Amino acid sequence: MNLHCTRWCGWLFIFLFAAGCGSRPPYEGKSVAQLEKMLQDADPAVQAQGAFGLSQQGPAAKEATPALAKALKSEQVAVRQNAALALGKIGPDAKDAVPELIEALADAEWSVRRQAAKALGEIGPEAGSALPALEKRQKDDNHLVRQAAEEARKKIRG
């Protein structure tokens, strides 16, 4: 197991453990505004939970697009990954985050690159400016990133 996978798996464990410690996950039952506010919390675990909660809202979380785009620059992998996940779940309405998602395609962590590619695919044709960056990901070291980039290119091209 490489260092990237170990780090990613560690964050996944922390995320799942934190979600399972209460009677319900911290993001459950919260409004989009409350979840967006979680992105501003000093605790990265709370930020990751907020971003994940926004992913559960789908297109209804459209108003959180700017905050999620900003979260793509977090120092924490789980925050960046969940922000990209949420933007993908918002879909075409997250088109304003395409520049930040393109930057995320160059993230040091493969899981963030993969999720950014998937998000761009879910945004669809509105993410056409991402095609050159997705083309570069065809040579990514990680096969899951390469696969996500190829699928995204197909969705964007229609």
DSSP calls for 67-81? HHHHHTT-S-HHHHH
pTM of the entire predicted model = 0.85
Tokens, residue 112 = 């963030």
Q: What is the pLDDT along the chain (158 residues), one digit of tens a residue?
A: 454 554 555 555 555 555 555 578 888 889 999 999 999 999 999 999 999 999 999 999 999 999 999 999 999 999 999 999 999 999 999 999 999 999 999 999 999 999 999 999 999 999 999 999 999 999 999 999 999 999 999 999 98
Let me know: does 74 contact 44? Beta carbons within 8 Å.
yes
- Assign domain 3-157 to its CATH architecture: Alpha Horseshoe (1.25)
Domain map (residue ranges) of the chain: 3-157
